Amino acid sequence: MLHFIGFSVHDTQTQNGVLIFEDEMGRGRPVSGQHLGALLGDHYSMRLAVVSSRNAARTAGVDPGAQVVDQMVRRGAPMALFQPTKLLDRPTLAFVHTLYECLATFGPVDVAMSEARRAIQLEEGGASWGLPQLMSRVRDGRLFARKVVAPAAPARPRFNLRPIEVQNARK
């Protein structure tokens, strides 16, 4: 999984959202959801991207982080989840903790998402539980299949059989 925590902005040139990554010189570098989706789509082990972004430049309409998540899945990423940072700290922590706890049991992501939204509702009343968004290309919603390893066959005991010498007890 990839969990991005940072800023998203609306790119006026492409009219899409981009995430801001830091380059080797410490400068902000915009990265589109199309680029990230192509990268994640080529790596089978990378099954989910979680984007927790703050909109650095407020524009009317759709949040740029949500646009990035949409572009990622359209371009090839199996699943992407957008979690806006509009939530307060406690509901955010409850959401992330519950989401990852459910995913660790190999359950479907949509079930994990429902439980995580319920955790937000328990921490903070209102409609903020509906803010996180999940986009998916995976039919059954499972990130990975749990591999059941067959128990190894018990090892046969090795006996070192030697003939026992019987000594004459009468002497």
**Range(s) of the domain holding residue 53:** 2-87+131-136
* 103 assigned to some structural domain: no
Give a yes or no: residue 64 inside a domain. yes
Tell me if 99 is assigned to some domain. no
User: How far is residue 115 CA from its own chain's centroid?
Assistant: 15
Measured CA to CA, the distance from residue 154 to residue 134 in angstroms comes to: 45
- Percent residues over pLDDT 70 in the chain: 80
Is 150 part of any domain?
no
Question: Is residue 100 situated within a structural domain?
Answer: no
pLDDT for residue 142: 76
pLDDT at 59: 61
3-state SS, residue 59: coil
pLDDT of res. 62: 74
Q: Is residue 78 part of a domain?
A: yes
Q: Residue 107 gets which letter from DSSP?
A: -
pLDDT at position 139, please?
Answer: 78
CA pseudo-torsion sign 130, 31, 143, 100: negative
Task: Using only the alpha carbons of the chain, give its radius of gyration.
Answer: 26
Predicted structure pTM score:
0.73
Does 95 map to a domain? no
Q: What are phi and psi of 49, to 5 degrees?
A: -115, 130
pLDDT in tens, 1-18: 888 988 888 888 888 889
Count of domains for the chain: 1
pLDDT digits (tens, 9 = 90+) for 62-91: 788 888 999 999 998 888 999 877 777 788
**In the chain, which residues have pLDDT < 50?**
none
In this prediction, residue 119 carries a pLDDT of: 92
